[in-house]
Amino acid sequence: MMPTDATLLGLPGSLAFLLVLTLAVVLFAWTASRRWQLMTAGSPPDVRWDRPLERLRGLIELGLLQRKMFRDPYAGLYHILIFSGFVVLSVRTLSLVFEGLFPKAGMPFLSPCFWQAYLLLKDVVLATTFAGALLALGRRHLFKKERLDASVDADLILGLIGFLMLSDLLAGGARMNLFRHESAAWEPVTGLFGTLLAGMAPASLQATYGFFWWAHLIAIFVFLNYLPYAKHFHVITALPNIFLRKLEAPGKLRTFDIEKAAEAEKFGVSKLEDFTWKQRLDIFTCTECGRCREVCPTHLTGKPLSPKGFMVDLRHALYTDANAIVDTASGRGDAKTEQAQADRKPLIGGWIEEETIWACTTCRYCESACPVTITYTDKLIDLRRHLVLERSEFPKEAQTAFNGMERQGNPWNLAAADRGAWAEELPFPVLTMAEAEKGDVDVLFWVGCAGSYEDRGKKVSKALATLLHEAGVKFAILGSEESCNGDAARRLGNEYLFQTLAQQNVETINGYGIKKIVTNCPHCFNTMKNEYPDFGGHFEVVHGTELVAKLVEEGRIKLSEKVERTVTFHDACYLGRHNEIYDPPRAILRAIPGVVLKEVGRKRETGMCCGAGGGRMWLDEKIGTRINQVRYAELDSVGADGIGVSCPFCMVMLGNAKTETNGRADAFDVLELAAEALPAGGPPAAGAAAGA
């Protein structure tokens, strides 16, 4: 007898099952609709349906194959086991639901061959999914990582998954003894459980079968309705979130119409409903796995910002204020709704402290590590935009940088007329675009503020100019016409100042008809390559190490002088994680005779930030350990003579850390070392070789 053949509480079993099923579906549908309303209520526009094939490829690679999960092989193993269980056993669940509604019908719409093959796969997956749940519990309690916090919710879900597997196997084992059906050959694991139950009386087998059959399905219905209230809501939202992920360059921030924002007197995000629907989907989807904080510089140095904690706080705020958000967006204006709005804890200063907002260095480790493609920096920058543009509340040190960028075109507030003075010390002439003949320049050398004014940065500018001259590349600079690219202004929340600088620079560059730009500053590089197109600046932008590595490979630059140094290399966040450029600086170091490269443990995608990004170069670091000192200690521990960098900000931060900690290794730009390795006879006469 099938479980729903028997009566239950005086009702026919099939009818009782239908009522339970209906209740579970209705409850889930209601909860899902509330979550949908909460995600979309008052949402600013955010189009995420473009480039469908690219989105589908990412869904397969990151969602179905879970590529990022396997950066931690142990975690990757149990996640893929559990995930495959959800996929394969969904068919099993549908068959059990069909069986509960129509106990005598069987599965007439499936061919016997397909069904037998599926039964075998199902049986194997029941065992592997149970093993995956045990491995996950082991990671949480026996082989725990720092990134994992204690969670009753996680233990409950994993226990429930394990129960689902066992209850299916026990129900199947009892059924196998009752009916002796032919499928026994295709269900070997269930058969093992059947062997364990073989000595039971028929009445006991029937009771065991009915109990675990009902327990299994009720557990599924409970699991389904619990998910939207737990961190495991990502079981439902992860795949959509991956499909709808950001496809633009990682280092690009969203540009909004500053004039319309000014008319509406609303900038950035001050309430949860100011986030876009996709940003709120991110909040729903956080798995709390903690991968985001493993190399997060603020978390590692005792700052109030932890990406995981930030996202969890946003989710708590979103769920706490759900009714007020949804009811207000739907137009409900009764006294209860108005009171709920009035009673809400403020997002900034309530749920999220201002110190948390200003701590971020925008290094993007959190985003590159997240297995479900959540973005964090955009949310923090949106909060900064509100503080700066609407409240005029920001760290006082930022005001100096803002004033300098606005008045003199550089955050040091030094004279704009002196921007090109560094080039006067070179043994060959460096022309400005105004001095060069039209069409006689291959590439614009965008020097940047640090390369123009900061003492160490000026040495790197001279090195890159010398290397380009050695290769016969026809280049020019803008001199006093160049202004700050605006990266720090934008990432400190001053979108108005950034857009002003961007429009000014784009107009200047377009006025000279320039199409190719080289710069040694990753912040200039990222901004001009990825963000200036929004303002009409469509240029081919290359980093100095990219161009020099290419010229070395082509034989146009000969690095022949031996330089006896052991070097480690620090990856700049805005060159590496923001733009995925890791190899060119290393190629240059390997091309220099006598240089030995010793890599540090945290490198490339997992390299730790120096602490200067996100405008933090211009802010005091008052909480916890200084980020630059922690990173410098890692690099210095390798035992190298020097630390190679490819960013002027990194060089300043690591150079300061050496002084602050009495370290041993000096920081230098790899282009300085390359210039040192040029032939002793010096570069050829200007223009002797072809253009870049």
pLDDT at position 625 is 95
Enumerate residues 6+ apart whose C-beta is below 8 A from 420: 430, 432, 447, 452, 477, 478, 479, 480
Domain holding 213: CATH number?
1.20.950
Which segment of 31-45, 464-478, 581-595, 600-614 scores lowest on mean pLDDT? 31-45
* Structural domain for 338, as ranges: 258-394
390 and 421: one domain? no
Categorize the per-residue pLDDT at 148 as very low, low, confident or very high, splitting at 50, 70 and 90.
confident
Distance from C-alpha of 119 to C-alpha of 186, rounded to nearest angstrom = 6
CB atoms within 10 A of CB 640: 22
229 and 268: one domain? no
378 and 490: one domain? no
- List, for residues 288-341, the tens digit of each pLDDT value: 999 999 999 999 999 999 999 999 999 999 999 988 888 888 777 778 888 888
Mean pLDDT of 398-413: 95
Q: Is the pLDDT of residue 114 over 60?
A: yes
516 and 382: one domain? no
Across 517-533, b (16+ Cβ under 10 Å) vs e yields bbbbbbbbbbbbbbbbe
Q: H/E element holding 138?
A: helix 112-141
Decide if 531 is inside a domain. yes
Strands 666-669 and 540-543, by their bridges, are: unpaired
Distance from C-alpha of 129 to C-alpha of 39, rounded to nearest angstrom = 31
Domain holding 329: CATH number?
1.10.1060
Decide if 241 is inside a domain. no
- List C-alpha distances in Å: 50 to 83, 172, 245, 691: 27, 46, 11, 38
Distance from C-alpha of 547 to C-alpha of 45, rounded to nearest angstrom = 39
Distance from C-alpha of 504 to C-alpha of 416, rounded to nearest angstrom = 14
Q: Is the pLDDT of residue 135 over 50?
A: yes
- Which DSSP category does 44 fall into? P
Decide if 296 is inside a domain. yes
Structure tokens at 237: 């939202």
Q: Is the pLDDT of residue 633 over 50?
A: yes
- List C-alpha distances in Å: 449 to 7, 132, 610: 81, 53, 18
Distance from C-alpha of 328 to C-alpha of 345, rounded to nearest angstrom = 16
Q: Is the dihedral of CA 94, 97, 102, 106 positive or negative?
A: positive
Q: Is the dihedral of CA 339, 343, 348, 351 positive or negative?
A: negative
- Mean pLDDT computed over every residue of the chain: 91
380 and 407: one domain? no
pLDDT at position 98 is 86
pLDDT at position 685 is 35
Instruction: Cite the DSSP H helix spans in 244-321.
Output: 258-264, 277-285, 297-300, 307-320
Q: Is the pLDDT of residue 193 over 50?
A: yes
Instruction: Return the bridge partners of 74, or none.
Output: none
> Phi and psi (nearest 5°) for 109?
-90, 5
pLDDT at position 151 is 82
Mean pLDDT of 345-368: 96
Question: 3-state class of 632 per DSSP?
Answer: helix
pLDDT at position 25 is 95
Q: How far is CA 234 from the centre of its chain?
A: 16
For the chain, what is the domain count? 3
229 and 263: one domain? no
Distance from C-alpha of 480 to C-alpha of 412, rounded to nearest angstrom = 15
Q: Is the pLDDT of residue 682 over 70?
A: no
11 and 112: one domain? yes
pLDDT at position 165 is 94
266 and 188: one domain? no
Decide if 688 is inside a domain. no
Distance from C-alpha of 363 to C-alpha of 609, rounded to nearest angstrom = 6
Q: Is 551 within 8 Å of 626 (Cβ atoms)?
A: no
CA-nearest of 296, 653, 672, 306 to 461 is 672
Place of tokens 């931690």: 72
Q: Is the pLDDT of residue 186 over 90?
A: no
Categorize the per-residue pLDDT at 208 as very low, low, confident or very high, splitting at 50, 70 and 90.
very high
Place of tokens 């996680």: 154
Boundary (domain end) residue, out of 394, 410, 437: 394
Categorize the per-residue pLDDT at 178 as very low, low, confident or very high, splitting at 50, 70 and 90.
confident
Which segment of 257-271, 381-395, 539-553, 602-616 scores lowest on mean pLDDT? 257-271
378 and 407: one domain? no
- List, for residues 56-87, the tens digit of each pLDDT value: 999 999 999 988 989 889 999 999 999 999 89
Q: Is 574 within 8 Å of 602 (Cβ atoms)?
A: no
Distance from C-alpha of 539 to C-alpha of 535, rounded to nearest angstrom = 11
344 and 196: one domain? no
Percent of the chain with pLDDT over 90: 72
- Which DSSP category does 275 fall into? S
Q: How many helices (H) and strands (E) does the chain have?
A: 28, 8
pLDDT at position 688 is 32
Boundary (domain end) residue, out of 340, 370, 394: 394
388 and 411: one domain? no
Boundary (domain end) residue, out of 235, 266, 301: 235
- List, for residues 646-678, the tens digit of each pLDDT value: 999 999 999 999 999 999 999 999 999 999 999
CB atoms within 10 A of CB 249: 15
385 and 402: one domain? no
Decide if 129 is inside a domain. yes
Categorize the per-residue pLDDT at 686 as very low, low, confident or very high, splitting at 50, 70 and 90.
very low
Q: Is 360 within 8 Å of 621 (Cβ atoms)?
A: no
Decide if 419 is inside a domain. yes
Distance from C-alpha of 548 to C-alpha of 692, rounded to nearest angstrom = 10
